Structure 1
Amino acid sequence: MTENTDRISIAARLRNNFLTGLIICAPLAITIWLTWSFIRWADSWVKPYIPTRYNPENYLQFAIPGTGLLIALIVITMVGFLGKNLIGRSIVSYGESVLHRMPLVRTVYKSTKQIFETVLKEQSSSFKKVGLIEFPHPGTWAMVFVSTDAKGEIAAKLNEAGEEMVAVFLAPTPVPTAGFLMFVARSKLKLLDMSPEEGVKLLISAGLVTPEYKPSPEGAMAAFKDLPLSDTVEPQRAAVKR
């Protein structure tokens, strides 16, 4: 009986050690693989366009991973720097005017530029808030990422009742690369204190990785104000008497 118990305890310890090692090694291996894959993808796109005389691999006996990615970052930064001065803005405006004359290209360019300007704008609040909406039916809640307020024709059509509408992105689990764009009333949206990064973790893990709840100061003050006067004053009086 003792031998069987010892065997079970040894097997349980080995299983626990394996699971602990898996928790440590799996995220590290996946992170390294994704980073390496991204570097190789960037190199495969950039290196063919590097002139031979400027490619350091032609002077070395081995390949340097990340050369294409580094050169791409330098070129993009230089283009952004040149695009801020008068000459650069003139060149960009001329290039955009040429693209706007092309029937199919102008639609793709304008849409892509608008998306990048909205997402990468420093003061933009797009996808910086997480909320809950009742979906697919009342009583069932789904997590969404708040995009922006409804604008243009959609706002004119949906705001007829006087209720402000908000555009939200409903992403599926566990791969949030596609989803649904939905317009909901602001009063039907429950904002959460968690960050978008924490929301993505919760979404990808199917609810297994729950972020720690840290109430905002505004929410704590609102909860304090909602308390009855007797609940806040009487304990203080009792403490003073003691």
Structure 2
Amino acid sequence: MKKYFIAGILVWAPLSITVWVIAWGLGLLDGVFGSVIHAIIMVLPHDAAVDVQHFRELPGVGILIVVAVIMLTGVLAISFAGQWWLKVWDKFVNRIPVVRSIYSSVQQVSSTLFSGSGQAFSKALLIRYPHSESWVIAFQTGNPAKEIASKLGEGYVNVFLPTTPNPTSGFFMIVPRAQTIELEMSVEEALKHIVSMGSVPPNNSSGLTSQELPHHF
């Protein structure tokens, strides 16, 4: 019975978690659309508001409209007129005292993560943590800021060390580049390896020999 129960879990657990994540994401998009529709209903006449509410109740409409709005925004953003309006919007938001710090931080992080030219999560690395006799997988996220580089000197790199099994939390660290090992596995394979707590090996990773490891600190 134990063997059959575990086999059933191995079949249903990945499917259930995948469906839950997709449902959560779609529900989030649908909630954004619902908030916009609710604001529109509040300012419309009664008859028009009833029609909009019936339209809102159609399954999947909210998700399709949110995706269409995002795509349309992207098309406008890369056009000349769209870039001009984005600059005007950025100047307006950056004049609001508290909002500007949050907006600019999120904007910089988003640009780094989603831009193809960014350095975020560009490589999977091995670093020593929490002591010199153990190794963990981390992701290179760029180079230190100018002030930090001027105080530490050259040869350092920014890394993000994710936790397991939840890789969305972790530690930002600045480590010597000479004390890191660049892995051949992709970022996706390394992330899968971390989430599985080492139980799922990368597809094309043959491992490292002791001769390939850098010296102790």
Short-chain TM bin = 0.7 to 0.9
Contact 1:57 1:63 in 2 (8 A): no
* Equivalent residue for 2:136, pick from 126, 138, 142: 142
Q: Which amino acid aligns with 2:83?
A: R
- Equivalent residue of 2:72, what SS? helix
Q: Which amino acid aligns with 1:16?
A: K
* Equivalent residue for 1:87, pick from 72, 81, 90: 81
Contact 1:155 1:165 in 2 (8 A): yes
- Partner of residue 36, structure 2: 49
- Equivalent residue of 1:170, what SS? strand
- Once the two structures are superposed, residues 8-58 of structure 1 have per-residue CA deviations (whole angstroms, 9 ceiling, x without a partner) of xxxxxx443332222112211221122122212221221231356698871
Q: CA RMSD in A?
A: 2.6
Contact 1:194 1:211 in 2 (8 A): yes
- Partner of residue 229, structure 1: none
Separation in structure 2 between the aligned mates of residue 34 and residue 186 of structure 1, nearest angstrom: 36
Contact 2:112 2:119 in 1 (8 A): no
2:183 corresponds to 1:192: yes
- Seen in structure 2, the aligned counterparts of structure 1 residues 207 and 214 have a Cα distance that, compared at 3 Å, is closer
Separation in structure 2 between the aligned mates of residue 63 and residue 21 of structure 1, nearest angstrom: 36
TM-score with structure 1 length normalisation?
0.73
* Equivalent residue for 2:11, pick from 12, 21, 24: 24
Contact 1:168 1:181 in 2 (8 A): yes
- Partner of residue 113, structure 1: 107
Contact 1:149 1:167 in 2 (8 A): yes
Gaps of 5+ in 1: 1-13, 224-242
- Once the two structures are superposed, residues 152-183 of structure 1 have per-residue CA deviations (whole angstroms, 9 ceiling, x without a partner) of 21122111xxx411000011121122111101
Farther off after superposition, 15-24 or 69-78: 15-24
Q: Which amino acid aligns with 2:198?
A: G
2:205 corresponds to 1:211: no
Identity of aligned residues (%): 32
Spell out structure 1 runs of 4+ moving beyond 4 A.
Answer: 51-57
- Partner of residue 35, structure 1: 22
Gaps of 5+ in 2: 42-47, 213-217
TM-score with structure 2 length normalisation?
0.81
- Once the two structures are superposed, residues 177-211 of structure 1 have per-residue CA deviations (whole angstroms, 9 ceiling, x without a partner) of 21111011111111111122222222122111122
Contact 1:173 1:206 in 2 (8 A): yes
Q: Which amino acid aligns with 1:58?
A: H
Separation in structure 2 between the aligned mates of residue 80 and residue 117 of structure 1, nearest angstrom: 13
- Partner of residue 161, structure 2: 170
Q: Which structure's relative contact order is higher, taking Cα pairs within 8 Å and 6+ residues apart?
A: 2
